[in-house]
């Protein structure tokens, strides 16, 4: 939830300072939304799979990092490839064993992935117990980028480097994913399968393999998101639930036609949340943003940033 | 389609066999609290209410094809209406502060009762609010979402968002709702100055469950029910035939929210508290699971599933901490392998063997 993600309050007498801080806070929320929404933009946006277990793949990524850090004392950045590979593998298994049986039945998929999310939480709880775990952020990405400091030198308008790092990683992954999707053979096949499965099959595309790879990639991205986010707060079995609704709202707001919609959705939700939170308070901001998204789905279920098509 | 049409014609005569069997079951259930202990009676009452809640979801999901995670919300809204009534009618000795104001309002610095809560002190108003608040809320949502071209999956996502938003909202409005703790330590239910015993409450709940089941049976076997099922099968075709699909959906949606609200209202005197736990998506999921496991589109299935799972959970929780894991696995198995649910599958096998 947003108010968990919010940076520690930097109280200030100047409202303009508070506003600037709130907007910077918004930037860090945007980073998290973008990162958590990206995987969903693949599984839902490209494949149209209603994946309610998305939050649990984020959670799995965080646990991979925790495990590697506590046993091998590995740097957080070095655990990223492992958490990508492991969550992607689990994603591939899930696709083959569950999702594949339910293509074309969106409500059943929704239910099955919801069941899967309960199972994954239960299994992780069984292995690691429900206790909160903590992950260390790398020491070289610490401290704040200060825009304005007061007379004693303590920061008044600032954002932590780690939050900027999250935005950076999210943008890099977005660029990489766009490249894969729009400029490679595999990406072309993925889009072909989404647009016309039968025709793609006729032209010799191995559709079931493409499905598996695409879903696994989306889950892998969720795993990376989990790794990067893990050091912000504690790691626990139900942590994915906090990100699930937000990730969904991001993807639905941005629209699923173009990958870049995720960026727009994340920016819109993150900043408006921060703005309203500045005027009112965090829970009210969340309620208002959720209500706004409901209204948006009602009038433009295809999202804000899609080109009108004739169906 | 043809099969269900034939079914209507056949069943339009008075179903003597069904009435006899349900009558016998009803009598057995009515005698049970005299044999069972207090704990079991209380548990069974709760499970009957959960079963009714599941039936209300079944009406919109199993029959009309709208999957909702918001039925816990309607249940809880009815529950809060009743909880305010019971809280405001604590005897002076029962109220920690000896004033008219509930304890959590005193803690949060309120000095007088908010105008929108004050009327709930009177039983008739509370009883109406218990049905009306969730029903009106559902009607407004229904008008808003069903009169658009939004497809089923998006409606489910909207119900998730509603549940999530209301949970946050109720937790944040501590002075009015009691925050995370909700409304606790409510008085016992008494009607016309007569305190209702646990057995009395059980019989009330049993009567309510039976009434909901009977009404739902009548509704789903009528032509109205046939239209609902047609909407689930093929929404476009039924609207080409000239039916206003949105109105049918809004009606059944509102009705089912009202039923859920009453179930919530009856739940509070039994449970003695209500909290945002029942608003949250997790509880909404629980309701969905009862319907899925019991069998969508069977009325008795969800009730059986709620009672069975509740009883198993009661014993399983003494052995293991991981009941949720079991529920998740069950849900996965049912969705992937037995989409008709337990009762649906059994009755299919039963029909085939003849």
- To the nearest whole angstrom, how far is the Cα of B99 from the nearest Cα of chain A? 30
Residues 6+ apart with CB under 8 A from B76: B264, B274, B276, B278, B279, B283
Say whether pLDDT at B344 is over 70. Answer: yes
* Residue A305 confidence (pLDDT): 66
8 Å CB contact between A292 and A273: no
For the packed helices A15-40 and A260-279, what is the interaxial angle rounded to 10 degrees? 150
Residue pLDDT, tens place only, B152-173: 778 888 898 899 889 988 988 8
**Separation between Cα atoms, residue A212 and residue A154, nearest integer Å:** 51
* Strand duo A155-160 + B190-191: pairing: unpaired
Question: Is residue A243 in some structural domain?
Answer: yes
ipTM of the complex: 0.78
Question: Is residue A126 in some structural domain?
Answer: yes
DSSP state of B63: I
- To the nearest whole angstrom, how far is the Cα of A208 from the nearest Cα of chain B? 18
8 Å CB contact between B220 and B62: no
* Residue B47 confidence (pLDDT): 94
Picking from B161, B281, B341 by the largest number of A CB atoms within 10 A of its own CB, the best residue to mutate is B161
| Domain enclosing residue A23, as ranges | 2-299
| Cβ within 8 Å, pair A297-B157 | yes
Q: Which residues of B touch A (CB under 8 A)?
A: 65, 67, 144-145, 148-154, 156-158, 160-162, 164-165, 168-169, 171-172, 281, 285, 288, 292, 322, 324-332, 335-336, 339
**Separation between Cα atoms, residue A309 and residue B7, nearest integer Å:** 43
| Residue among A58, A40, A12 nearest A232 (CA) | A58
CA atoms within 13 A on the CB side of A157: 13
| Cβ within 8 Å, pair B325-A123 | yes
Question: Is residue A167 in some structural domain?
Answer: yes
Could you give the angle at the alpha carbon of B282 between the alpha carbons of B255 and A129, nearest 5°?
165
Of B71 and B317, the structure prediction assigns the larger pLDDT to: B71
Say whether pLDDT at B57 is over 90. Answer: yes
Average pLDDT over residues B264-290: 89
Split into its structural domains, chain A has a count of 1
Of A307 and B231, the structure prediction assigns the larger pLDDT to: B231
Local confidence pLDDT in tens for the 311 residues of chain A: 444 444 444 444 457 777 777 778 788 888 888 888 898 888 888 888 888 899 999 999 999 999 999 888 888 888 999 999 999 999 999 999 988 888 778 888 888 998 899 899 989 988 888 888 888 888 777 777 777 777 676 666 777 888 888 889 999 999 999 999 889 988 999 888 888 888 888 888 888 899 899 999 999 999 999 998 888 888 888 888 878 888 888 888 887 777 888 888 888 888 888 888 878 777 888 888 888 888 888 887 777 766 555 44
**Separation between Cα atoms, residue B54 and residue B71, nearest integer Å:** 9
**Separation between Cα atoms, residue B306 and residue B291, nearest integer Å:** 8
Q: Helix or strand or coil: residue A297? A: helix
DSSP assignment of B265-315 equals HHHHHHHS-B-GGGTSHHHHHHHHHHHHHH-TT-SHHHHHHHHHHHHHHHH
* Strand duo A144-149 + A155-160: pairing: antiparallel
**Separation between Cα atoms, residue A190 and residue A200, nearest integer Å:** 9
8 Å CB contact between B152 and B116: no
**Separation between Cα atoms, residue B184 and residue B261, nearest integer Å:** 19
| Cβ within 8 Å, pair A298-B145 | yes
The per-residue b/e assignment along B120-139, b for 16 or more CB within 10 angstroms, e otherwise, is beebeebbebbbbbbbbbbb
| Residue among A301, A308, A304 nearest A254 (CA) | A304
Say whether pLDDT at B300 is over 50. Answer: yes
| Domain enclosing residue B345, as ranges | 2-352
The sign of the dihedral angle between the CA atoms of B115, B119, B121, B125 is: negative
Using CA coordinates, name the residue in chain B closest to A123: B325
**Separation between Cα atoms, residue B97 and residue B95, nearest integer Å:** 6
**Separation between Cα atoms, residue A73 and residue A138, nearest integer Å:** 11
* Residue B313 confidence (pLDDT): 83
* Residue B254 confidence (pLDDT): 95
Q: Which residues of A touch B (CB under 8 A)?
A: 1, 50, 98, 101-102, 106-108, 110-112, 114-119, 121-123, 125-126, 241, 245, 248-249, 252, 281, 283-284, 286-287, 290-291, 293-294, 297-299, 301
The sign of the dihedral angle between the CA atoms of B26, B27, B30, B36 is: negative
| Residue among A33, A217, A232 nearest A142 (CA) | A232
| Residue among B321, B297, B308, B343 nearest B4 (CA) | B297
Average pLDDT over residues B30-37: 84
Helix H or strand E encompassing A189: helix A185-195
8 Å CB contact between A54 and A242: no
**Separation between Cα atoms, residue A85 and residue A219, nearest integer Å:** 9
Question: Is residue A311 in some structural domain?
Answer: no
DSSP-H helix ranges across chain B: 2-11, 16-35, 38-58, 71-88, 103-107, 123-146, 152-172, 174-177, 198-221, 223-233, 235-240, 245-271, 281-294, 300-319, 323-337, 341-352
**Separation between Cα atoms, residue B303 and residue B209, nearest integer Å:** 9
* Residue B13 confidence (pLDDT): 64
Give me the residues paired with residue A144 across strands.
A160
**Separation between Cα atoms, residue A181 and residue A221, nearest integer Å:** 14
Which of B67, B169, B288 shows the shortest C-beta gap to A283? B169
**Separation between Cα atoms, residue B171 and residue B190, nearest integer Å:** 29
8 Å CB contact between A255 and A265: yes
* Residue A221 confidence (pLDDT): 92
8 Å CB contact between A225 and A172: no
Residues 6+ apart with CB under 8 A from A167: A27, A28, A30, A31, A34
* Residue A276 confidence (pLDDT): 83
Average pLDDT over residues B204-230: 91
Question: Is residue A7 in some structural domain?
Answer: yes
- Which residues of B are less than 8 Å from A298 in CB distance? 144-145, 148, 150, 158
The sign of the dihedral angle between the CA atoms of B75, B80, B83, B85 is: negative
Which of A101, A291, A297 shows the shortest C-beta gap to B336? A101
Of A86 and B99, the structure prediction assigns the larger pLDDT to: A86
| Cβ within 8 Å, pair B331-A115 | yes
8 Å CB contact between A221 and A39: yes
Picking from A118, A265, A280, A303 by the largest number of B CB atoms within 10 A of its own CB, the best residue to mutate is A118
**Separation between Cα atoms, residue A298 and residue A287, nearest integer Å:** 17
CATH of residue A200: 1.10.3470
* Residue B353 confidence (pLDDT): 64
Question: Is residue A19 in some structural domain?
Answer: yes
Phi-psi region of B222 (alpha: psi -120 to 50; beta: other; left: phi over 0): beta
Using CA coordinates, name the residue in chain B closest to A99: B336
* Residue B1 confidence (pLDDT): 43
Picking from A56, A105, A110 by the largest number of B CB atoms within 10 A of its own CB, the best residue to mutate is A110
Using CA coordinates, name the residue in chain A closest to B152: A107
8 Å CB contact between A38 and A221: yes
* Residue B205 confidence (pLDDT): 93
Residues 6+ apart with CB under 8 A from B66: B60, B152, B155, B156, B249, B253
Picking from A3, A108, A111 by the largest number of B CB atoms within 10 A of its own CB, the best residue to mutate is A111
Using CA coordinates, name the residue in chain A closest to B142: A298
* Residue A311 confidence (pLDDT): 43
Helix H or strand E encompassing A147: strand A144-149
Question: Is residue A257 in some structural domain?
Answer: yes
pLDDT band of residue B249 (cuts 50, 70, 90) is very high
């Amino acid at each position: 939830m947003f108010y968990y993600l919010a940076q520690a309050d930097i109280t200030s007498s100047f409202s303009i300072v508070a506003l600037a801080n709130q907007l910077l806070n918004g930037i860090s929320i945007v980073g998290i939304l973008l990162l958590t929404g990206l995987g969903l933009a693949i599984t839902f946006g490209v494949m149209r799979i209603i994946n309610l277990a998305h939050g649990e793949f984020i959670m799995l990524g965080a646990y991979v990092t925790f495990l590697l850090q506590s046993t091998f004392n590995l740097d957080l950045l070095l655990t990223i490839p492992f958490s990508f590979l492991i969550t992607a593998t689990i994603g591939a298994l899930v696709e083959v064993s569950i999702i594949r049986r339910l293509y074309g039945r969106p409500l059943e998929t929704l239910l099955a992935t919801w069941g899967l999310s309960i199972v994954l939480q239960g299994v992780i709880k069984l292995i690691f117990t429900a206790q909160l775990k903590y992950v260390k952020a790398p020491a070289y990405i610490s401290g704040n980028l200060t825009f304005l400091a007061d007379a004693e030198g303590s920061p008044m308008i600032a954002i932590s480097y780690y939050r900027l790092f999250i935005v950076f990683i999210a943008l890099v992954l977005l660029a990489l994913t766009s490249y894969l999707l729009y400029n490679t053979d595999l990406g072309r096949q993925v889009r072909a399968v989404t647009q016309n499965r039968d025709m793609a099959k006729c032209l010799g595309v191995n559709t079931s393999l493409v499905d598996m790879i695409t879903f696994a990639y989306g889950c892998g991205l969720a795993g990376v998101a989990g790794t990067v986010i893990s050091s912000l707060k504690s790691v626990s079995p139900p942590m994915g639930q906090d990100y699930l609704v937000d990730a969904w709202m991001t993807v639905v707001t941005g629209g699923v036609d173009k990958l870049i919609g995720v960026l727009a959705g994340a920016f819109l939700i993150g900043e408006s949340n921060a703005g309203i939170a500045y005027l009112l308070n965090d829970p009210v901001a969340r309620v208002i943003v959720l209500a706004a998204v409901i209204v948006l789905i009602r009038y433009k279920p295809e999202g804000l940033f899609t080109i009108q098509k004739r169906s | 389609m043809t099969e269900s049409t034939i079914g209507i014609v056949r069943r339009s005569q008075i179903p003597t066999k069904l009435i006899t069997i349900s009558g016998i079951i009803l009598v057995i259930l009515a005698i049970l609290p005299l044999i069972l202990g207090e704990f079991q009676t209380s548990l069974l009452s709760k499970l009957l209410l959960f079963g009714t809640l599941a039936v209300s979801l079944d009406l919109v999901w199993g029959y009309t094809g709208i999957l909702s995670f918001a039925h816990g919300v309607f249940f809880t809204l009815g529950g809060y209406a009743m909880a305010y009534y019971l809280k405001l009618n604590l005897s002076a000795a029962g109220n920690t502060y000896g004033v008219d104001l509930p304890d959590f309002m005193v803690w949060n610095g309120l000095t007088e009762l908010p105008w929108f809560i004050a009327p709930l002190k009177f039983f008739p108003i509370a009883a109406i609010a218990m049905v009306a608040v969730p029903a009106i809320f559902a009607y407004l949502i229904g008008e808003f979402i069903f009169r658009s071209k939004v497809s089923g999956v998006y409606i489910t996502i909207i119900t998730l968002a509603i549940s999530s938003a209301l949970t946050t909202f109720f937790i944040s409005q501590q002075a009015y709702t009691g925050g995370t703790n909700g409304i606790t330590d409510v008085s016992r239910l008494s009607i016309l100055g007569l305190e209702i015993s646990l057995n009395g409450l059980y019989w009330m709940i049993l009567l309510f469950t039976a009434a909901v089941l009977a009404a739902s049976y009548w509704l789903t076997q009528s032509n109205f029910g046939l239209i609902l099922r047609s909407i689930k099968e093929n929404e476009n075709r039924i609207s080409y035939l000239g039916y206003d699909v949105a109105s049918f959906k809004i009606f059944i949606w509102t009705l089912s929210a009202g039923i859920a609200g009453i179930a919530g209202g009856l739940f509070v005197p039994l449970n003695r508290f209500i909290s945002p736990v029942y608003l949250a998506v997790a509880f909404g999921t629980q309701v969905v699971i009862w319907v899925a496991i019991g069998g969508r589109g069977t009325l008795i299935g969800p009730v059986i599933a709620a009672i069975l799972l509740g009883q198993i959970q009661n014993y399983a929780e003494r052995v293991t901490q991981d009941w949720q894991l079991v529920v998740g696995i069950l849900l996965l198995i049912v969705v992937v392998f037995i989409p008709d649910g337990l009762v649906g599958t059994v009755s299919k096998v039963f029909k085939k063997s003849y």
